[in-house]
Amino acid sequence: MSRAQRTTERIEPDEPVVIDRRKGVDKWRYTCPNGHTSWDRTNSHLWCPACARAADHDDDIDPEHYELLDKSAEKLIPWDSVEVVS
């Protein structure tokens, strides 16, 4: 379980959360649950290369996440509620 999942509330938005990764504000606002900005989309989840590197040294870290952290609102957003514009 990530640090964010232990301390942050999960929300279920009524409409998709649209993230434009070309905007610096969105890149820094929306992170993996561990706070990394280098996440990538996959078919059904997000994958974080920084978490993957950390997982090499810590079995409790998983690079695959099904929620995104909105650092501004301090809320976890389910991946199926996110729309990424690139």
37: containing domain: 3-85
In the chain, how many domains are there?
1
The sign one gets for the Cα dihedral 27, 46, 76, 20 is positive
Strands (E), the chain: 9-10, 17-20, 30-31, 40-41, 46-47, 64-65, 67-70, 75-78, 82-85
Q: How confident is the model at residue 5 (pLDDT cuts 50, 70, 90)?
A: very low
Q: What is the pLDDT of residue 15?
A: 87
Q: Does residue 12 have a pLDDT over 90?
A: no
For residue 70, the cross-strand partners are 30, 75
Percentage of the residues of the chain whose pLDDT score is greater than 70:
92
pTM to 2 decimal places: 0.81
